């Protein structure tokens, strides 16, 4: 699709306004953290939901809802009070390759993150001069600091190895971006929206290439950086807002 820069900007803005709307929430994984109002509940529900966000969106939402129900619909309190006796039901949880043992480790590690590291926002805070790539890698190291089965590691992407880290980037978008449209939460003030990197999945990648926003063929970290760099031309302060436009075009319009 050949558009001038001005035409592309106007097209992306129209699609951003169309899809960054509360009606987007119901069928999207972000509906799960929207069940809550307390910051820590939103963080925990959002992080666990983002972790299993691959495959059918309907299945993602269903399994994430099931997981939160297993936590008595009180995710932060459950995690903070969880002990070995509470883990048995989670051994049966499965979402694609995310199994019960992975799930139990994630609960234990989230507890460790809040008890010993100040919580998820502190772990991602960019108050120092590190970029988001380094912060995600640093978070990954801390999240995996407890004894664990190597299988767990595949569920926390490492951008230092050029992984796209789509699910972590999506979670960060949820937490950081302004909530004035009612979709993202805008809870975290320690990361500026200008620092975010666009989550890159198959749909977003295909649409971005069709629009001339991405030339790299692989959907990896370098491609996510390239896409975000190009989106910054249209809105340097909030480039990842166009994730709504690209994702919506791919999912709903088969663009």
What is the domain range of residue 132?
5-252
Number of domains within the chain = 1
Residue 27's pLDDT band (cuts 50, 70, 90): very high
Structure tokens at 202: 């198959």
The mean pLDDT value of the chain amounts to 95
**pLDDT, mean of residues 35-53:** 98
Q: Is the pLDDT of residue 32 over 90?
A: yes
Give pLDDT, residue 125: 82
Q: Is the pLDDT of residue 128 over 60?
A: no
Q: Is the pLDDT of residue 14 over 90?
A: yes
d(CA 181, CA 14): 14
């Amino acid at each position: 699709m050949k558009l001038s820069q001005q035409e592309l900007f106007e097209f992306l803005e129209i699609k951003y306004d169309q899809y960054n709307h509360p009606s987007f929430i119901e069928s999207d994984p972000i509906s799960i953290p929207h069940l809550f109002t307390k910051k820590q509940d939103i963080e925990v529900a959002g992080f666990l939901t983002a972790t299993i966000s691959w495959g059918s969106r309907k299945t993602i939402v269903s399994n994430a809802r099931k997981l939160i129900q297993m936590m008595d619909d009180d995710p932060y309190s459950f995690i903070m009070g969880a002990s070995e006796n509470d883990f048995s039901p989670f051994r049966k949880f499965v979402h694609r390759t995310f199994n019960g043992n992975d799930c139990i480790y994630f609960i234990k590690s989230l507890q460790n993150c809040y008890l010993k590291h100040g919580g998820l926002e502190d772990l991602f805070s960019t108050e120092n001069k590190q970029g988001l790539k380094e912060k995600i890698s640093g978070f990954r190291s801390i999240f995996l600091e407890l004894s664990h089965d190597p299988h767990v590691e595949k569920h926390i992407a490492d951008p230092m190895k050029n992984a796209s880290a789509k699910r972590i980037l999506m979670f960060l978008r949820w937490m950081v971006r302004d909530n004035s449209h009612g979709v993202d939460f805008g809870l975290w003030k320690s990361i500026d929206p200008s620092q975010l990197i666009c989550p890159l999945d198959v749909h977003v990648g295909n649409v971005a290439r069709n629009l001339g926003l991405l030339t790299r063929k692989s959907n990896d970290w370098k491609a996510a950086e390239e896409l975000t760099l190009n989106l910054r031309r249209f809105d340097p302060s909030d480039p990842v807002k166009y994730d709504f436009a690209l994702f919506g075009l791919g999912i709903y319009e088969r663009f």
